[in-house]
Amino acid sequence: MKLSDFIVADAVIPELKAGTKEEAIREMVGSLCRAGQIAAEHEQTIVSAIMKREELGSTGIGRGVAVPHTKHSSVGSLIATVALSSSGLDFASLDGENVYILFLLVSPPDRPGDHLRGLETITRHLKSDDFCRFLRQSRTREAIVDLLKEVDDQAGS
Amino acid sequence: MNNSLVFRREIEVLLKDGLHMSPLSQINRLACAFSGPVSIARDEFIADAKSMLDLLQLNAVKGTMLVVEASGEQAQELVEGVARLMSGAPADGGPPGPSQHAD
């Protein structure tokens, strides 16, 4: 699986306006909605489901990264977006550090394997210090999308 | 007690949705509280169970066979706790928790 298989380029956010976890999740789901990947009528339900999931345990996994996610029957395949926060967000992460890189995933309930493969693909790249550094240095949507494409190509070669 | 004790066990993932983030977080907590090294291997890939980034790369759907290995005092108890979490039971072997489910 490649990042570009499920990350919606038009929904990528190079600098979050959000100052809190909930605002960030709302902004990212809204971006997927504006990109035409989530129907407006499901936007609030999806935000609520992701927040409920966060209450059961933060998806801040360390290294300044969080992967908020949920299942929702309105999506036909795994979709995701990436967002950056240069000032960092308090995500109640496992390591107690702020979050600067967010990958938000929404997957169909009947495709748990796709969700796991998406997480595997994201975290495999996040293990690379270079990838994390270049991602955090990206200032535009185009730069982020180009970087994702570049690591996809490297992984496929 | 023998600190060099290594305990290894092959375990099948029995969770309906596979080894997703919630059970992985619980496994990570168990591993981090353990004094010795803990690894979970899937084929050639070996995850350090004290790293969530590693654990999330296991990509283990239901039915996947994983090899869990721990070294140190009470290594067997640790591995058995991980096995219980992979089958959907609480790590301490107690009754199943509340039905609230996280992906």
pLDDT for the residue numbered B99: 41
Say which residues have a Cβ less than 8 Å from residue B37's Cβ, sequence separation at least 6.
Answer: B48, B50, B70, B71, B72
Q: Does domain B6-86 have CATH number 3.30.70.60?
A: no
* Structural domain containing residue A7: 3-156
Which chain A residues have a beta carbon less than 8 Å from that of B58?
Answer: 120
Secondary structure (3-state) at B84 = helix
Per-residue pLDDT tens digits for A3-14: 999 999 999 999
- Per the structure, the count of domains in chain A is 1
Shortest Cα–Cα distance, B58 to chain A (Å): 7
Which residue carries 């995500």 as its tokens? A91
Residue A117's H or E segment, with its range, is helix A112-126
In a mutagenesis test of the B interface, which of A116, A117, A127, A128 is the best target, namely the one with the most B β-carbons within 10 Å? A116
- For position A99, which CATH number holds? 3.40.930.10
Shortest Cα–Cα distance, A129 to chain B (Å): 12
pLDDT (mean) for A123-135: 94
Taking phi over 0 as left and psi of -120 to 50 as alpha, with beta for the rest, A14 belongs to alpha
Q: How many contacts, defined by CB atoms under 8 Å, are there between A and B?
A: 63
pLDDT (mean) for A133-144: 96
Rounded CA-CA distance A82/A38 in Å is: 15
Q: Which residues does residue B47 pair with via DSSP β-bridges, in sequence order?
A: B40
Across chain B, which has 103 residues, the per-10-residue mean pLDDT values are 78 94 95 96 96 95 96 95 89 55 62
Say which residues have a Cβ less than 8 Å from residue A126's Cβ, sequence separation at least 6.
Answer: A63, A65, A101, A132, B53
pLDDT for the residue numbered A94: 82
Per-residue pLDDT tens digits for A61-106: 989 999 999 999 999 999 999 999 999 999 998 888 999 999 999 9
Rounded CA-CA distance B24/A23 in Å is: 26
Task: Tell me which residues of chain B have a C-beta less than 8 Å from any C-beta of chain A.
Answer: 16-22, 25, 28, 51-54, 56-62, 100, 102-103
Q: Where are the domains of chain B?
A: 6-86
